[in-house]
Amino acid sequence: MGSVLKILDLNSVVLALVLGLIFLVLFEIMRIHFSRGKTPPGPRPFPFVGTIPHVIMDPAGCVRSFHQYGEMATMFLGRQPMIMLNTLQITKEALVQEASAFSGRPTIPIIEWMTNGFGIIMATFGHSWRQQRRFALHTLRNFGLGKKSLEERVLEEGHFLIAEMIKAEGKAFDPQHVIQNAVSNIICSIVFGDRFEYNNKRFANLLKILNENFMLMGSAVGQIFGLIPFIKHFPGPHQKILRNADELLGFVRDEVKEHRQTFDTENPRDFIDAYLLEMEKQKSREDSTFHEGNMVMSVVDLFLAGTDTTATTIRWGLIFLMENPEIQERCHKEIVQVLGYDRLPSMDDRDKLPYTHATVYEIQRCANIAPFGVVHATTQPTKLRGYDIPKGTMIMTNLTRIFSDEKHWKSPDTFNPENFLDENGYFYKPEAFIAFSVGPRACLGETLAKTELFIFITSLLQQIKFSWPPNSQCPDMDGIIGALRYPHPYKITCSGRDAKTDRQ
């Protein structure tokens, strides 16, 4: 009799659990139906996980599909809605005209885990962010941003990059490390006061883990962490993200420690020195946000933003140039006609090199390294095109659609520098080119990135011919969707150029 009762009790528990699960699922389906009625249209979310499965299964296809829902679309990260702005007009309306309501940043568990809310890029829209961004812009300008001195640093690094590539002349090699190192050296010279040799193993490892973390944060691992952040207390692949972040933070803290030991208040050498000086100036102010945590994360933000974005754009650029050798040759001929083989390019040469200038911008458009820009969040309850948008709602810009909208581009679906040339062959920038975003949270490194991209790409095209190795082919152009859109690994071959070889 006792065993029968036990079986009945067990059956009752199982039945209660099954019925409870059914009830939860039905409740979730009803909640989804009710929520979707309040938000712009979008792909149908799954219970509890939202549209994350769509993103994981086909990230590139998912990115391309959002514009079909109209000027605004909604996807769900778990149970949390995220609104996608699909047109240039509505993007400017939100991020520029209604900037105060749309300039926040959401709390993203994986970012919060690594940064503790410090820094600039993902900091909450408020007093700390304003102080840190204002100081960063002012200090970057003091150390060359927008000046000839910075241009000279980029030119010098371009010379090192060309020499490193020519070392492998005729041999197939992966250009990722040398490009990433060259680009990173520019921001390192501003932030740390020094550059790093291409064979520096510690720095090479740092660049490797930086790239690895960008990939992991946008992968299924990062998406799952966003759904169930308490997994941070358990072992798993997500722990690699924190280990990598800790290694990067440790590198920065070592640099700060070394700077403190050699710090001269009368002669600040770089961003870290300037920050140490500002901390000393503001230590008596109650509203100061200048402290060790913000210093380390601000340095990391500048290092991250000044490395992977531009390096990834150049890596995509080499693919487009090798796939379109006629464009590569036309750029080279224009550069040589204006500069010859010996004079290095400067930003003043852009007007004399309209086709090359247009090619640099077309690389950025087609590379589309941040398909959804950087996520924003509403800072207050607001309205947009008749929809009530609660405070804290995530907002993203569909750059994939804006950069391929036939309303704005002559050749939206092909790599064609004519997209940035007027009827007279002069360079012009269409209004829809918003690769650096718009509004108060536009990229603070825009001037630096433009300088690097023009000088690096022009210098490379002047001195080197790029081609695919024998029996190789172009990688899948959908790329790898992580925190950025990366090209699949590939190899290239380089041939040095001069007047003699070009005549042959």
- The helix (run of H) or strand (run of E) holding residue 65 is helix 59-65
- pLDDT tens column, 24-39: 666 556 655 566 667 8
One-letter amino acid of 312:
T
- Report residue 241 CA to chain centroid gap: 17
Q: Which residues, in sequence order, are CB contacts of 184 under 8 Å at separation 6+?
A: 196, 203, 207, 303, 306, 307, 311
| pLDDT given at position 401 | 95
| pLDDT given at position 349 | 96
Q: Which domains does the chain have, with CATH numbers?
A: 98-368+403-503 (1.10.630.10)
Bridge partners, 467 (sequence order): 493
Coil, strand, or helix at residue 173? strand
Bridge partners, 34 (sequence order): none
Rounded CA-CA distance 187/448 in Å is 9
Q: What own/partner pairs with CB < 8 Å and gap ≥ 24 does 67-73 have?
A: 67/398, 67/401, 69/40, 69/41, 69/42, 70/40, 70/41, 71/385, 72/40, 72/384, 72/385, 72/387, 73/40, 73/41, 73/42, 73/398
| pLDDT given at position 258 | 93
- For 409-428, the DSSP string reads -SSTTS--GGGGB-TTS-B-
The pLDDT of 200-216, averaged and rounded, is: 86
- For 466-494, the DSSP string reads EEPPTT--PPPTT-EESSSEEPPP--BEE
Of residues 131 and 113, more confidently modeled: 131
- pLDDT tens column, 213-225: 888 777 777 777 7
The pLDDT of 165-183, averaged and rounded, is: 93
Quote the percentage of the chain above a pLDDT of 90.
Answer: 56
Place of tokens 């959002």: 66
3-state DSSP of 202-264: HHHHHHHHHHHHHHHHHCHHHHHHHHCHHHHHCCCCCHHHHHHHHHHHHHHHHHHHHHHHCCC
- pLDDT tens column, 235-290: 888 788 888 888 989 999 999 999 999 988 888 999 999 999 999 998 888 888 99
Please determine, for residue 72, whether its predicted confidence score (pLDDT) is greater than 80: yes
| pLDDT given at position 80 | 84
Rounded CA-CA distance 336/472 in Å is 29
Please determine, for residue 107, whether its predicted confidence score (pLDDT) is greater than 90: no
- pLDDT tens column, 365-413: 999 999 998 999 999 999 999 899 999 999 999 999 999 999 999 999 9
Please determine, for residue 8, whether its predicted confidence score (pLDDT) is greater than 70: no
Please determine, for residue 10, whether its predicted confidence score (pLDDT) is greater than 80: no
Rounded CA-CA distance 417/195 in Å is 33
Highest average pLDDT, of 58-62, 98-102, 217-221, 230-234, comes from: 98-102
- pLDDT tens column, 401-451: 999 999 999 999 999 999 999 999 999 999 999 999 999 999 988 999 999
Nearest to 453 by CA among 341, 369, 342, 339: 369
| pLDDT given at position 24 | 65
Nearest to 316 by CA among 487, 453, 174: 487
Rounded CA-CA distance 404/25 in Å is 39
Q: Decide: 321 and 330 in contact? Cβ < 8 Å.
A: no
Bridge partners, 296 (sequence order): none
- Report residue 209 CA to chain centroid gap: 15
> How many other C-beta atoms can be found within 10 angstroms of the C-beta atom of residue 236?
11
Please determine, for residue 11, whether its predicted confidence score (pLDDT) is greater than 90: no
Coil, strand, or helix at residue 82? strand
* Average of per-residue pLDDT values in the chain: 88
